[in-house]
Amino acid sequence: MSALYLHDIHGFLPPQQTLENLGPGLRLKRSKIKLLERYHKLKNICMDERGLTELLEKPLKRIVQEASFPDSVKYLVYSKTVLMASPFQYDIIGKLKSRCSLPDAHGFSLTMRHCGGSLVALALFRNLLSDQNDQAILLTGEKAFSHHIQVIDGVTVMGEGTAGVAFGRRPTEWKIAATHSSIDGQYSTHGESSGVARLDRPEALRAFSQNYTRQLADFLTDTIKRFNLTWDSLDSVIPHNVNESSWRSIAELVKLNPESIYLENVGKWGHCFGADPFLNLVTYLKKQSPAPGSKVLMVSVGLGATYSRPEK
């Protein structure tokens, strides 16, 4: 089977608001705001009054408008973190298909890998897309509609940026060379249901937070070996935007120059759920103008915990 390629990518970012202004609405004490600003380097969060359908429609419309053959879009897939991201019986994918003139696309959502699911979706597209002319569009990003979703205590604040990405078999300059994901199921032992459902318990969240940097460092070390790479062979690591401090700790553990990790947007947007790696890729491609043959490694983690990455 032929390789998978990135055909088009667009992001949408609501206006930036300072943590200082958002603090009261997020129930953040002054001390918590200072921790996020000074230690984790979070300054602004992209957030506004738009609903989820409109947030997702913005990047999707641009992809459909620029598509040479919009009829070739066979799948519209929404990767999300929150199980119920929209009201019960509200068909958000159906609404988007109608608004963006994709009546024949098969639509469905992915959720069990949480923020790591958007990169896991690439492995799914490898299996779904068989025809050279078929395309799949991935949508990701969410509305942080309650306090429990908006803030991961002492770690990050969720933003509302969204991304749309088109993939297919037709060759372009950006080839998805490989994908891999791993699940650490130990957190499911904190309760009778799924690990994420139990991560609202302080002891489980503490365990995840304490293990996070080491587990992600081990995952990245395995990635380099699995793909027969070296850190020097990569032009950049495109991360998720949880915070800057954790990425610098991870870089030290894996002996990677932290300047090789694309952290430019961490303090501007907040952690935009599964959209982070793709939003970062958009600005990386625009500002860095990588040469043909460049290699980048995209990385994300979902609470639970899922570690995922493709190499491009």
DSSP per-residue codes, 249-310? HHHHHHT--GGGB--TTHHHH-B-GGGHHHHHHHHHHHHH-PPTT--EEE-EEETTTEEEEE
Mean pLDDT of all residues in 179-194 = 61
Alpha helices in the chain (DSSP H): 19-22, 30-34, 52-66, 92-99, 117-128, 147-150, 195-198, 202-226, 244-254, 266-269, 276-288
Average pLDDT over residues 216-238: 91
Check: CB of residue 305 under 8 Å from CB of residue 195: yes
CA angle (96 as vertex; 60, 66 as ends), nearest 5: 30
- Radius of gyration of the chain measured on its C-alpha atoms: 19
Query: pLDDT category, 192, cuts 50, 70, 90?
Result: very low
Q: Which amino acid is at 182?
A: S
Statement to judge: residues 159 and 210 lie in one domain: no
Which of 95-99, 105-109, 204-208 comes out lowest in average pLDDT?
Answer: 204-208
- Verify that 168 and 182 share a domain, yes or no: no
Q: Does 174 have pLDDT greater than 80?
A: yes
Q: Is the pLDDT of residue 196 over 60?
A: no
Cα–Cα distance between 90 and 86 in angstroms, integer? Answer: 6
Task: Give the pLDDT band (50/70/90) at residue 48.
Answer: confident
**Is residue 19 over pLDDT 80?**
yes
Q: What is the DSSP letter of 25?
A: T
Choosing from 119, 138, 172, the residue where a domain stops is: 172
Q: Give dist(CA 147, CA 149) in Å, integer.
A: 5
Output the CA torsion 57→144→137→10 (10° steps).
70
Residues 229 and 304 in one domain: yes
pLDDT at 195: 38
First to last CA, the chain: 18
Beta bridge partners of 182: 307
Residues 143 and 230 in one domain: no
Q: Is the pLDDT of residue 70 over 70?
A: no
Global model pTM greater than 0.85: yes
Same domain, 234 and 246: yes
The CA distance from 103 to 38, in Å, is 48
On the question of pLDDT at 138 being above 90, the answer is yes
Which of 103, 137, 172 is a domain's end point? 172
Domain ends where: 142, 172, 202?
172
CB-CB contact of 165 with 8 (8 Å) = yes
What pLDDT score was predicted for residue 291? 84
Question: Tell me, what's the pLDDT at 200?
Answer: 55
User: Looking at the 3D structure of the chain, how many domains does it have?
Assistant: 2
Q: What is the CATH number of the domain that holds 15?
A: 3.40.47.10
Name the helix (H) or strand (E) containing 109: strand 106-110
Average pLDDT over residues 147-152: 80
**Are residues 160 and 220 both part of a single domain?**
no
Highest mean pLDDT among 35-44, 143-152, 185-194: 35-44
The parent domain of residue 93 ranges over 4-172
Whether the predicted pLDDT of 110 surpasses 70: yes
**12 and 145 both lie in a single domain:** yes
Specify whether the CB–CB gap between 163 and 11 falls below 8 A: yes
If asked whether residues 121 and 208 sit together in one domain, one would say: no
State the pLDDT at residue 193. 46
**In the numeric block, which tokens belong to residue 230?**
């070296």
How many Å apart are CA 146 and CA 237, to the nearest integer?
31
Judge if 23 and 131 occupy the same domain: yes
> Within this chain, do residues 153 and 182 fall inside the same structural domain, yes or no?
no
- For residues 100 and 117, membership in a common domain is answered with yes
Statement to judge: residues 46 and 58 lie in one domain:
yes
- The torsion region of residue 24 among left (phi > 0), alpha (psi -120 to 50) and beta comes to alpha
Distances (CA, A) of 195 to 13, 115, 141, 186, 201: 30, 14, 21, 8, 10
